Amino acid sequence: MSNFLYDTHSHIDLMNDFNETVKKIEEKKIYTIAVTNLPPLYKKLNSKLNSKYIKPALGFHPELIDQYQKYIPEMWELLPYSKYIGEVGLDFKVSSKSKIIQIKFFEELIKRCNALGGKILTIHSRSSADEIISIIGNKFNGQYIMHWYSGNLTTLNKAILNGAYFSINYAMVNSEIGKKIIDNIPNNKLLLESDAPFILLDNNTFFNTTDIEKIVIKLSKHKKIEIEEMKTILWSNFKSIL
């Protein structure tokens, strides 16, 4: 069981080779949370997926909330029926002009998720980690994963105390800033993510879910933990959020 791999954040619906990607994930038995950026995209992905290993996540990317406010009611209609929620969150760097609507939406999302219970969120927090952690609070009725965390260490520690998990991607294990963040996350709070197709490998090809073991190898080396032990830790963490 400890050798199973997974991906908590992959944009499978944006892959050019969608069918081939799904086929390879199935073959390698990689448990994958397939995030989406809008409710209609979630419905489209959900309708064409019938997989033991790939679970679609109901998402509403913060960069799109202002432009696509018409889909907010659809988000609330679908929310009770999806265990996995993402990509959601706040973005005050790229989309600072829509800050008010983003916060209003995210506050409502957390309120509804708390009422429903049992949701697993993968959260975007660019230049907004303080607000994210404040809104979620320390009694969230579910699990949440800080996707590609890039905030400060004070907020990181607060998130850890509040129960957050952190998904690590290939870009993070290859940057000094990313490795500093990883050094401050307890091993039992580490998870894996590809964020495909938004990250490049060293040869400038796109990192895919099927490349996820490359992150394990890098993490193992950086943490000075044997690969099999690292896999066991990471798999145990994944099981703990399900």
Report which DSSP code applies to 207.
Answer: P
Map residue 55 onto helix, strand or coil: strand
With 0-12 CB in 10 A as exposed, 13-18 as middle and 19+ as buried, what is 34? buried
Pairing between β-strand 119-126 and β-strand 84-91 as defined by DSSP bridges = parallel
Domains in the chain, ordered, with CATH? 5-241 (3.20.20.140)
pLDDT of residue 204: 86
Contact of 6 with 37, CB cutoff 8 Å: no
Going by pLDDT thresholds of 50, 70 and 90, the confidence category of residue 1 is very low
The amino acid at residue 44 is K
pLDDT, tens digit, for every residue of 15-45? 999 999 999 999 999 999 999 999 999 999 9
Long-range contact set of residues 20-23: C-beta below 8 Å, sequence gap at least 24: 21/196, 21/208, 21/209, 21/210, 22/49, 22/51, 22/54
**Residue bearing tokens 């916060």:** 103
Asked if residue 2 has pLDDT above 80, the reply is no
Map residue 133 onto helix, strand or coil: helix
Picking from 16, 58, 17, 55, the residue whose alpha carbon sits closest to that of residue 37 is 58
pLDDT, tens digit, for every residue of 95-132? 889 999 999 999 999 999 999 999 999 999 999 999 99
Asked if residue 49 has pLDDT above 70, the reply is yes
Residues 6 or more apart in contact with residue 86 via CB below 8 angstroms: 9, 33, 35, 36, 57, 58, 59, 121, 122, 123, 145, 147
